[in-house]
Amino acid sequence: MRRILIALSLCLLLSGCGMKDIDKRFYVVTTGIDWSGNPQKPYRISVRLAITSAKVESGSSKTQIVTIDAPSIAEGVRHLKSFVDKELEFGHCRVFILGKELLQNGPPGSMSWFARRRDIQLVSYFAVGDPDALSVLKVQPQSERYPGNALFLTFGKEGTESPYITTTYLFDMVRRHFEMGLDPVLPVIRPKEKTYEVDRVLLMDKKKSRLILTPEETQLYNMTANKATKSEMKMSRGADRVVLTVNYVRSKIDVGQGDIPLVTMKVKIRGFLEESPPDLLEKDWHGLERELGKHFSGQVEELLYKIRDAGVDPYGFGLHYLASYFGGKKDYERWVEAYSKVRFKVVTEVKITGAGVVR
Amino acid sequence: MLDEIKKKLGAPADLVAETMDNGFTKMEFCFFPSMCDIKQVKDGILVPFSYRFDPDEFKRMLKADVCFIDAPDPEEWVGMLLKGCALIKYEDRVYSFAAIRKMQQQPEDTEVEASLQGPQSAMTEDLDMNTYLIRLRYNVPTLTIEKLEKGDVSKTRLNILYDRDKVDLNSLEELKKRLDTVHTKLLQAAGQLGMLLGNARFSMFPNTIQSERPDRVAQFLQRGKIAILVDGSRFAVAMPVRFFDFMHAMDDDYEPFWMGRVIILFRYIGMLLSMTLPALYIAVASYNPEFVRVQLAFSIDGSRAAVPYPSFVEVFIMLFMIEALIEASIRLPRFVGSTAATVGGLILGQAAQQAGLVSSIMIIVTSVVAISNFVIPNSSFSYSIRAMKYVFVVAAIFYGMVGVIVTMFLIIVYLCHLRSFGQPYLALFLPSDEQSQKKSGA
């Protein structure tokens, strides 16, 4: 018994130095990394810190922003600690924003910092700030109850669920950064007075950003790559607009064989008409479905060619290709060569479940 | 006889010791009126001896009536008197007449283990009444009762009850072995016996169960457990027990099946919460705030802003208050009991938080801990859980979330290791009757 007691009391000495009360920690809610332009200290690191209060109401969130220029992110963060009175805590930092300029100026070499730090969650969201990250951080959304909550809700699909918003997690971004034949995609956040506009995506290759899609294209991308429901298909028909609300999207990619492979994408869409001229559906139900499908296929094909010409591969066609071969370096080189000449074929099968009203 | 008894007892004032003379013959007669049932004494001895006296009949009665026991040994006399027998000496022979005064004439109402729709009668503090109550509910010929006396001074009567077809013989043997080692001066309560039997010094969980409900004891007997009734205690001690017996309330068997299961599930959740919540609070507030989602982390942060002490001091303050409150409301006389609850409620509620002594989240934690501890149906088990909570708290102070998880693991390991009278404590399913028969046959 005495021996057990001694062993237990010795265990008490083993405790680490992790003890730090929650009110002695400063929560970073958003981190922004920008390109400073100074080659000695290329990274401008800004953190948005939460000032919590016991009372919670809309618009009551208070934050503080601290900024520093540093030669690397790790050094910058270490230095930032001396600017604040409490321990910086990244455990709840769910949003990381990279400046648009930073991505244009080559890959951030110390990007692995995010994945290496133990307190940064791998499910945190990554995004691009346009024109820069700091200006996104400075926005104080009026509806925010908790500091930083607006962006958490935007990307977390807890709040808004929009087909224009792409969510990129840290683990996915790291994977896409290293995987052959699959490239990173980042949503673009543009500050606008007291709110954010998140309706574009930025496509990058392994090194730098290549292409920013328009909101329309972003929606098409999300539908075909991320199964984004609650989206819409639209088409002009003479003077009228036909709008289909999509409840169900599935897409299947098939990369063919041959020197210049043909990439086939099969899309299945189900939804109901939200806006259409009267009596349209009754006249020719299947005809309308075919027409919508054809229109959609055309749009997607156009998007795919645009993406191909930019030299990026957010869909992972390359990965599909490699999967049907041995997947070695040689296969990859062959794919890279072929990709610029690859042809696309999109087949869309639309099913209209109704017109949204009882006939 | 009378002189001898008076010498031994030192002639106490409440002893009646007289030589009675009805004109025909004489009889020495002594008893404690306070300990005997006067009516029985009158009907059994005084009436036949006085105005209905018939020498032959009286002799026959002394010989044939089961109430009269021959007591030739002078050493036994004092003991018999003290138990409430009346002694008579008639024609040079000494008889004892058992006219023990009974406090209880009918079963009491349940107090500790209340039930909504189950039987409402509970056992009493009288051994014979309790034995009757159990015989009534478990009316089978195989019910075996063994008598025993324990306690050097108190000489408390015990009844060991079991169903000889269903009982586990190893457990019975183990129980008898342990009963032989029990030595105490005063044995006054069933819980005391349970503690003496259960090797309680080295066990963090009780390994005997107490119950005041005869229906529960009957169920135990039917499941092959052994029950011990202690004279003067309204609780029966049953063994061997499993972890799950403590979480079982009789209402579970009397209510609709699925509703009962759901309630049991809630009870287990309550037990877990009551055990771990203060520790989890410390772990989240001091070590791993990333464990909870951001909104909650911020509200804990915000509500803790005014608190000057580290989280574990806060936890200790609140836990001490709630333990003191519970203890006070058990010990206080009923008239002032409600005062304690009101005053305590005020302190634990708004005031402590407004004074900046504790955070508002901690108040919620405290009340959840207290309330979910009351959900546990067995009070000795609920004491165990109450104590176990501090083990978790200490682990959380030094090791944070990892400490809590490892402690949980250690406790499960400990429960697996624990045996109650030779039976595994954490066994989820007992073998059914057929299985155990097959086993014993093979």
Q: Name the residue facing B298 among A11, A20, A50 (closest C-beta).
A: A50
**Which residues between 41 and 80 in chain A have a beta carbon less than 8 angstroms from any beta carbon of chain B?**
50, 52-56
Residue that the structure tokens 């990279």 belong to: A98
The CA distance from A93 to the nearest CA of chain B, in Å, is 9
The CA distance from A113 to the nearest CA of chain B, in Å, is 19
pLDDT of the residue at A359? 62
Q: Please indicate, yes or no, whether residues A205 and A234 belong to a single structural domain of this protein.
A: no
Spell out which residues of chain A touch residue B306, defining contact as CB-CB under 8 Å.
54
Q: Name the residue facing A23 among B288, B301, B400 (closest C-beta).
A: B301
Residue pair B250/B115 in contact (Cβ under 8 Å)? The answer is yes
Mean pLDDT of B258-279: 92
CATH of the domain at A337: 3.30.300.210
B39 exposure class (CB count in 10 Å sphere: 0-12, 13-18, 19+):
exposed
Spell out which residues of chain A touch residue B287, defining contact as CB-CB under 8 Å.
18-20
Q: Name the residue facing B300 among A12, A19, A22 (closest C-beta).
A: A22
Whole-structure pTM value: 0.83
Q: Please indicate, yes or no, whether residues A95 and A115 belong to a single structural domain of this protein.
A: yes
Q: Please indicate, yes or no, whether residues A86 and A162 belong to a single structural domain of this protein.
A: yes
Mean pLDDT of B352-369: 86
Mean pLDDT of B90-100: 83
Q: Please indicate, yes or no, whether residues A122 and A230 belong to a single structural domain of this protein.
A: no
pLDDT of the residue at B267? 93
Is pLDDT at B97 greater than 90 in this prediction? no
Mean pLDDT of B128-142: 90
User: Which long-range contacts link A76-80 to residues 24+ away (Cβ below 8 Å)?
Assistant: A76/A43, A76/A45, A77/A45, A77/A47, A80/A45, A80/A47
Within-domain flag for A131: yes
B199 confidence band (pLDDT: 50, 70, 90): low
Distance CA A194, CA B122 (A): 69
- Name the H helices within A69-188: 73-80, 100-104, 112-116, 133-138, 149-156, 170-178
Within-domain flag for A357: yes
State what percent of residues in chain B have pLDDT above 70.
Answer: 95
Q: Please indicate, yes or no, whether residues A204 and A225 belong to a single structural domain of this protein.
A: no
- By CA distance, what is A12's nearest residue in B? B398
Within-domain flag for A9: no
Q: What is the rounded average pLDDT for all residues in chain B?
A: 85
The total domain count for chain A is 2
The CA distance from B284 to the nearest CA of chain A, in Å, is 8
Is B301 in Cβ contact with A22 (below 8 Å)? yes
Pick from A1, A15, A21 the residue to mutate for testing the B interface (most B CBs within 10 Å): A21
Mean pLDDT of B14-19: 83
The residue segments making up the domain with residue A266 are 215-359
Q: Please indicate, yes or no, whether residues A109 and A231 belong to a single structural domain of this protein.
A: no
Residue B347 CB contacts under 8 Å (≥ 6 apart), including other chains: B321
Residue that is last in its domain, among A212, A237, A268: A212
Cβ count near B414 (within 10 Å) = 14
Within-domain flag for A123: yes
State what percent of residues in chain A have pLDDT above 90.
Answer: 30
Interface ipTM: 0.81
Q: Following DSSP, what letter does each residue of B69-134 receive, concatenated?
A: EE---HHHHHHHHHHTEEEEEETTEEEEEE-BPPS-SS-EE-SSS--SSS--EE--S-HHHHHHHH
Residue A250's beta-bridge partner residues? A268
Within-domain flag for A245: yes
Within-domain flag for A69: yes
pLDDT of the residue at B442? 43
Per-residue pLDDT of chain A (359 residues; tens, 9 = 90+): 777 778 777 766 665 556 788 888 888 999 999 988 888 888 899 999 988 877 766 666 788 899 999 888 888 999 998 998 888 888 888 899 998 888 888 665 667 788 888 888 888 999 999 888 999 998 888 888 888 888 888 888 888 888 899 999 999 988 888 888 899 999 999 998 888 999 999 998 888 888 999 999 999 999 999 888 888 888 888 788 888 899 999 999 998 887 888 999 999 999 988 888 877 777 888 888 898 999 999 999 999 999 999 989 999 999 999 988 888 888 899 888 889 899 999 999 999 888 877 76
- By CA distance, what is B394's nearest residue in A? A12
B126 confidence band (pLDDT: 50, 70, 90): confident
Q: What is the pLDDT of residues B42-60, one digit of tens each?
A: 888 888 888 878 888 888 8
Q: Please indicate, yes or no, whether residues A190 and A164 belong to a single structural domain of this protein.
A: yes
Distance CA B106, CA B372 (A): 34
Is the minimum CB–CB distance between A152 and chain B shorter than 8 Å?
Answer: yes
The CA distance from A187 to the nearest CA of chain B, in Å, is 22
Residue that is last in its domain, among A182, A212, A242: A212
pLDDT of the residue at B393? 94
Is the minimum CB–CB distance between A146 and chain B shorter than 8 Å?
Answer: yes
pLDDT of the residue at B438? 58
The CA distance from A21 to the nearest CA of chain B, in Å, is 4
- By CA distance, what is B314's nearest residue in A? A21
Residue that is last in its domain, among A159, A189, A212: A212
The CA distance from B200 to the nearest CA of chain A, in Å, is 15
pLDDT of the residue at B108? 84
Is the minimum CB–CB distance between A147 and chain B shorter than 8 Å?
Answer: yes
Residue that the structure tokens 């009870």 belong to: B267
Is pLDDT at B93 greater than 90 in this prediction? no
Chain B contact residues (CB < 8 Å to A): 284-290, 294-295, 297-307, 310-311, 360, 398-400
Mean pLDDT of B370-390: 90
Q: Name the residue facing A91 among B286, B290, B307 (closest C-beta).
A: B290
Euclidean distance between the first and the last CA atom of chain B, given in angstroms as a whole number: 61
